[in-house]
Structure 1
Amino acid sequence: MMNRREGARTNVLFVCMGNICRSPTAEAVFRHQVIAAGVEEEIYIDSAGTHDYHIGEPPDERAQRAAGRRGYDTKALRARIVDEKDFEFFHYILAMDRANLAVLQRECPAEYSHKLGLLMQYSEKFSEGVQEVPDPYFGGSQGFEHVLNLVEDAGRGLLNRIRNGK
């Protein structure tokens, strides 16, 4: 991952398949964490999908409800697909799982491949064997709560990493 240069804005992109469950949840959670830390002018945050299933749609209603219960606002977010310009613009391009990371690795120009990773690599749970944020789309409400737990933890780790310039 790219080191944050002092005074430069760090750009973070969260990626899942359709950009309606996991990645917009990660975007909203991380934005909340960044604002709470008072560094919103230093970090730009976005999310996208690897597939074009839901372009222009808001996050899944279940994801919105779960996020809303914890104080995260996802209502204004709209699904989009990863664009080739994203690979140059973003410093961190973090997939929710290995399948989407593989798609990113196929599409990413070689000179930007160092920017790719899994969000969970910034989580304390990663060392416990949790390396992916599972897709809650076909499950019940508990899946969306689990996603929130994971992205809250990984978001804290990512924010620490960015703020410490490592």
Structure 2
Amino acid sequence: MEKIKVLFVCMGNICRSPTAEGVFNALLASRELTDAFQVDSAGTHAYHVGDAPDLRAQKAARERGVELKHLRARKVRGEDFETFDHILVMDDENHAILHEICPDEHKYKIRHFLEYAPHLQRREVPDPYYGGAYGFERVLDLVEAASEGFIETLRREGVLT
């Protein structure tokens, strides 16, 4: 079976998208689904290429049993649009940036990650970078809910059994 390829995207790839990657991978591991997926994260900007996730993001995730320190920031590449089946963005700004650079035949892959958690009645995962610790906790809450919803959507659609 071909793997389901998922790319999480935020601006700098040091807070929200690596947190989503880590949380999603932890959820896959807990459900013994790791082999069914290829998961990565990237940023629309190259501010932090090669850097580990923000230490505050790492700390908040580690307190929930998710390790992020092995991840490294990278910028979205042109080939990502073809490689990945699902490109899940954290906010409107990054959604717009990706739509601008994405070939038309792959635009359908770009979705807001929180579309998979409609009960939250939010469209965007807020950027915690300039805030305090609470922002990183909030990001974890949101990406945990969206990760669950994404898995359930894939099951409902018959993509994942």
Whether TM exceeds 0.5 here: the answer is yes
Percent identity between the two aligned chains: 49
Give the superposition deviation at 1:128.
4.3
2:89 paired residue number: 95
Select 2:63's aligned residue among 69, 81, 93.
Answer: 69
C-alpha deviations, 1:102-159, integer Å up to 9, x for none? 0000010000011000000001xx3442111000000000000000000000000111
Which residues of 2 match residues 47-126 of structure 1 at below 5 A? 47-123=41-117, 126=118
What secondary structure sits across from 1:26 in the alignment?
A: helix
User: Which segments of 5 or more consecutive residues in structure 2 lack a partner in the other structure?
Assistant: none
2:11 counterpart letter in structure 1? M
Matched residue pairs, number? Answer: 158
Superposition TM-score, scaled by structure 2 size: 0.95
User: Which segments of 5 or more consecutive residues in structure 1 lack a partner in the other structure?
Assistant: 1-6
1:161 paired residue number: 153
- Matches of 1:61 and 1:31, distance apart in 2: 19
Aligned Cα root-mean-square deviation (Å): 1.0
- Matches of 2:138 and 2:119, distance apart in 1: 17
- Matches of 1:90 and 1:23, distance apart in 2: 15
Instruction: Write out the 4+ residue segments of structure 1 that deviate beyond 4 Å after TM superposition.
Output: none
Give the superposition deviation at 1:161.
1.7
